[in-house]
Amino acid sequence: MPDEGYVKYKCHWRKSDPVPAHFLPPLNFWRDRLYNLGLIGVYPDGIGFGNLSTRIPGSAEFIITGTATGKFLTLAPEHYSRVRRCDLAANTVYCEGPVQASSEALTHAAIYEARPTANAVLHVHHLDFWEKNLNHLPTTSPDVTYGTPEMAAEIKRLFAETDLAARRICVMAGHREGIIAFGDSIDLAGAVLLEHFPES
């Protein structure tokens, strides 16, 4: 998968202290669970996959797993980044923390922007899960790859043209194995994801 795992956005990253610790217990709970199910992890070539985030209440900012963290069994505060702002049209992410934000930060931002009640986003990989739900759940265009303004626009299109808002889960046709779920809380996002995942 030569296109996998690379950051495609322009990054304005300010290296800083870890994100506030009180955000991390629910993120770590779900990250551990998804990792143990094989939905987040690392490919044999060393490229990581999967990420998750939670919105900072009352803002457009969010905490997201950092880039290249799929290889870690468990995550610590230094593995998360705080996204202050995203400019989808300009393909730019403004983040801070010990690590740069995940390569999927723009896609997470698009969901938070399109769905103000969404407070968590989970992005996982699983080939059987992906193949089973491709074009059965709301599905992005196969011509659009991950981590791009075009993917952010595709997510917004799905909100406008499909029942994505109600189903809260979609398939990324141009991002092999990629599935995204979201919810009003990280527990609700996780419940939606596991409802559709046959091996949970």
For residue range 13-34, list pLDDT tens digits in order. Answer: 999 999 999 999 999 999 999 9
Tokens found for residue 157: 């299109």
Q: What is the pTM of this model?
A: 0.94
Arithmetic mean of pLDDT, 130-155 = 92
- How many helices (H) and strands (E) would you count in the chain? 6, 10
Residue with tokens 């043209």: 161
Domains, in order of start, for the chain: 10-196 (3.40.225.10)
Rg (CA), the chain: 15
The tokens describing 32, both together, are 């551990």
In whole angstroms, what is the distance from residue 61 CA to residue 158 CA?
22
Distance of CA 168 to the CA centre of its chain: 13
Name the β-bridge partners of 55.
62
Q: What is the pLDDT of residues 30-89, one digit of tens each?
A: 999 999 999 999 999 988 999 999 999 999 999 999 999 999 999 999 999 999 999 988
